[in-house]
Amino acid sequence: MLDSTLALYLVPVVWGATFPAAKIVLRHMPIASFMAWTRGTGLLAIAAATPLLRRTEARAVADERPPARSVLLPALVLGTLIFASYTLQTEGLARTTATNAGFITGLYVVFTPLIAALVLRRRVPGIAWVAIAASVAGLALLSVKHLATIRPHVGDLLVLAGAVGWACHITVMERASRRFPVWMLSTAQMAVTAILQVGAALATAGLRPADALSARVWPLLVLTGVFGSGLAYTMQIVAQQRMTSTRAVVLLGGEALFSALFAAVWIGERLAPHQWLGAALVLGAMVVSELAARGPSAVVVEPASAE
């Protein structure tokens, strides 16, 4: 299997690339339709990769794999959290500025260790708080084009609720990823999300395939669906089998850095000097987190036993 740390380094790279891709696709189709197509293609990608995942996944005792029906509840929780977080984030973005939404969404870096401390009753190490603080400062500088333009209102509160949802997803994933095979959990959670997204699209704007699925749009749907949904969420499960949610969220915070880099190359967006400083802080937080985790005094986190 893919090394867990390498897997989690790749996830924010993939998610970062989906931001400029999504901006282009959303010019051609409604948000609900876009989400339905990306989650649907993501599910198909996971299903296609399942035979390979089942052959290559190394587990200590294969006979102790849980029955398939036992994954239904965690998959329902995880899939619903993905659906709800995307919906809240998008609805909030429609009512606030991209500047506010970018910063507030990045606050899942703060919420995750707090939720993990409450739910999993875990003490957050001091070095983790340093990395978290650096990530938050970096995300703020990256997301805010003009430092005096943040004005909280209803849209901000919706985006804030979405950030809490992402933090809950990462926290729940820490426990679930250690109880189930990657292929089983990845397929089940994406199936729940896809069903919810398709239902939402049919209830509102419809799937709108006729004018949207052109030769120019299809490759972007493949990027955001196959890679951004199918591949990235599977790699997240691989990674969180071997690390805590507190450590994982600092690495995932690099999503803002990579989205800025891809947007600059792909659609011509440029960073202001304070945003480059933010990018450096995010990268520094990732380095601090990894050095602390790989140091001689680091504590190896063993998979938690199911309770």
Q: What is the pLDDT of residue 43?
A: 93
Alpha-carbon distance of 230 to 224, in angstroms, equals 9
Alpha-carbon distance of 158 to 185, in angstroms, equals 28
Q: What is the pLDDT of residue 216?
A: 75
Give, as one character, the DSSP assignment of residue 272: -
Q: What is the pLDDT along the chain (307 residues), one digit of tens a residue?
A: 556 677 778 888 888 888 888 878 877 888 888 888 889 999 999 999 888 777 766 554 444 567 778 889 999 999 999 999 988 877 787 677 666 677 777 778 778 888 878 877 777 778 778 888 888 888 778 777 676 666 666 887 888 898 899 889 988 988 888 888 888 889 999 999 999 999 998 888 677 654 556 777 888 888 989 998 888 888 888 877 777 777 787 777 777 778 877 888 888 777 778 878 887 888 787 777 766 665 554 433 333 333 3
Residue appearing with tokens 């509102």: 204
Can you read off the two tokens belonging to residue 150? 């943040």
Q: What is the pLDDT of residue 62?
A: 47
Alpha-carbon distance of 18 to 53, in angstroms, equals 24
Alpha-carbon distance of 37 to 229, in angstroms, equals 10
Q: What is the pLDDT of residue 57?
A: 64
Can you read off the two tokens belonging to residue 86? 């995307």
Which phi-psi region, left, alpha or beta, contains residue 270 (left: φ > 0; alpha: ψ -120 to 50)?
A: beta
pTM value is 0.77
Query: Using alpha carbons only, how large is the chain's radius of gyration in Å?
Result: 19
Amino acid (one-letter) located at 90: T
Can you read off the two tokens belonging to residue 289? 């987190």
Residue appearing with tokens 């959303």: 26
- Per-residue b or e along 123-159, where b marks 16 or more CB atoms closer than 10 Å to that residue's CB: eebeebebbbebbbbbbbbbbbbeeeebeeeebbebb
